Amino acid sequence: MSARISSRASADRLARLLNLVPYLLARPGIEISEAAGDLGVTERQLREDLELLWVCGLPGYGPGDLIDMAFDGDRVTIIYDAGIDRPLRLTPDEALALVVALRMLAETPGVANREAVERALAKIEDAAGDQVAAPVEVRLPGDTGRVEQLRAAVESGRALRITYYTAARDETTERVIDPLRVLMVSGRTYVEAWCRRAEAVRLFRADRIDAVTELTELAVVPPQARPQDLSDGVFRPSSELPLITLRIGRGERWITEYYPCERVESDGERWVVSLRVTDLGWARRFVLGLGPDVTVVAPAELAEQVRDAAGAALEAYATPVSRGADPAGQAARQ
């Protein structure tokens, strides 16, 4: 968790530093307090950024290569910008990477201003010229036909009847939903909608919608329905959700990278991890799929469910099936 926060902070600082030089070039002698207000940082943070800029520049990193600044009291002026004010010239690999990224963005559900993305893409392709040797086609994973159907329903304002598989409860249900938007989170496409069955806003993964029918009636979204903030992902752990604790071996340490964990402690060769789950039914299937090098520490109810399910599976495998017997009939008798 702390690693993800640190990575995000570093990315934010890099973007701020790249913006800082042209900002200061356009405002020679600006007061640090005014610049900090414009950039949305504290004066202390801006001074730390300026100290870092002082050791940035061109390869060689000697006098005349590094960014240079002059301070007059609380005012700062860029004296040497190390070429950051020059127009960016893309290499062939950079041009191709940018074209691919923009094409993927243009195809991503939920992009509000697709026309702006396409205009930027056209300008870059025109400027790149022969650097991009062949036409680039980008296809996102998943059922594109289903995604287009969901997107069309949102644009037309129609209600939908869907058959949906809920992995957390391992069940399939039929629902009528009033779509709000189609979006992509962590590489997966979702439709966010008012669910008439749950009487709340819900997210439905497009690849888990087994069937969809556009109704003739218009979508009716209640005033209290609001899109969710998904900037931190779809799953948002809270204190209301069940907390489970597992003791895992080396082969299961990937859990700490894939799921948000509240606690990770070393216990010799094994780790003790605690994480929130949607419900204990999902947790039982999750633990059973991990293998033998995992032990449920808490809650006791989950440990009992896993023990019972594992025991039932072992008993089923231990029961011999006589040759010529009807497996279905024998299973029914058991």
**SS3 state of residue 46:** helix
Q: What is the CATH number of domain 144-218?
A: 2.30.30
CATH number of 2-80: 1.10.10.10
Q: Which CATH class is domain 243-317?
A: alpha beta
Residue 172, token pair as written in the block = 């399939």
Per-residue pLDDT tens for 89-112? 667 777 777 777 777 766 665 555
User: Residue 55: how many CB atoms within 10 A of its CB?
Assistant: 9
CA 135 from chain centre, in angstroms, equals 29
pLDDT recorded at residue 247: 92
pLDDT value for 138: 58
CB atoms < 10 A from the CB of 276, how many? 19
CA dist., res. 162 & res. 174, Å (int): 6
- Count CA atoms closer than 13 A to 203's CA, side-chain side: 16
In tens, the pLDDT along 154-176 reads 888 889 999 998 876 778 899 99
The better pLDDT of the pair 278, 43 is held by 43
Q: How confident is the model at residue 195 (pLDDT cuts 50, 70, 90)?
A: very high
Buried b (16+ CB within 10 A) or exposed e, 224-252: ebeeeebeeeeeebeeeeeebbbbbeeeb
pTM: 0.46
**321: buried, middle or exposed (CB in 10 Å: 19+, 13-18, 0-12)?**
exposed
Note the pLDDT tens digit of each residue in 231-259: 666 666 677 788 999 999 888 888 888 88
Which stretch of 157-161, 231-235, 261-265, 277-281 has the lowest confidence by average pLDDT?
A: 231-235
- The chain-wide mean pLDDT, for the chain, equals 78
Beta strand ranges found along 186-232 (DSSP E): 188-195, 200-205, 209-218
Mean pLDDT (whole number) for 209-219: 89
Domain ranges of the chain: 2-80, 92-128, 144-218, 243-317
Positive or negative, the Cα torsion across 12, 18, 19, 23? positive
Contact 81, 21 (CB under 8 A): yes
